[in-house]
Amino acid sequence: MATFIISPEHAVIFWNKACEELTGLPASQVLMTRNHWRAFYDEERPCLADIVIDGNVEDLPRHYEKFGVSTLARDGIRAEGWFDNLGGKRRYIIFDAAPIYNDQGQLVSAIETLQDISALKETEQEDLVAGLQSTIAGNKTLTGYLPICSSCKNIRDKEGCWIEVESYFRDEAGILFSHGICPACIRKLYPEFYDKLQE
């Protein structure tokens, strides 16, 4: 797993081979520097490990859209998102960062791991698009003339049978009806109730 560690002064003290391969940034360019941000961002800003070192978890919303408590480490934090050009590729990365303490409970470093789950996220997006396309394709649009009885309002279907309007729309377009009564019909059919409603 791609991993790096920074000191309490934010200097990189460990940058593994997997981190080199994922970011395209060799360890020789980041070890003993504060340049680890260059692997991820166009301008200087804190990485998750920096936020752990400083204890500034309130800064998470300024820097990440998706964040929370780490599922990998106690006292850790997590963030994730798309990066358009990380190691020359568009990648979706999950970051986990946690503090490292010595025997006296002093903070001696922070470790950050990176998981590339781009393939999973792309599959999720493809499934979502396919689902939406299927839903759209399944929605029928009714067009043309529809024979309807001018008295009872039944509709003549393709087979020539007269059916209730609710049944027609349910069968043809998956539309369900709920019934009520409009003010004009209340007035016509139930004038005594209409008058009470007007009081």
Neighbour-count burial of 34, counting CB atoms closer than 10 A to its CB (0-12 exposed, 13-18 middle, 19+ buried): middle
What CATH number has the domain spanning 2-120? 3.30.450.20
What average pLDDT does the segment 157-172 reach? 81
User: Does residue 99 surpass a pLDDT of 70?
Assistant: yes
pLDDT at 142: 64
What average pLDDT does the segment 86-111 reach? 94
With CA atoms as reference, report the closest residue to 111 among 43, 15, 34. 15
Higher pLDDT, 190 or 49: 49
Q: What percent of the chain has pLDDT over 70?
A: 90
Residue 27 makes CB contacts below 8 A (sequence gap 6+) with 15, 16, 17, 19, 20
Q: What is the DSSP pairing of strand 12-15 with strand 2-6? A: antiparallel
pLDDT at 72: 78
Tally of residues, the chain: 199
Which of 23-27, 142-146, 160-164, 170-174 is predicted most confidently? 23-27
pLDDT at 135: 67
Domain boundaries of the chain, sorted by first residue: 2-120, 137-198
Contact 86, 40 (CB under 8 A): yes
User: Does residue 49 surpass a pLDDT of 70?
Assistant: yes
Higher pLDDT, 70 or 14: 14
Look up tokens 């903070």; give the residue: 107
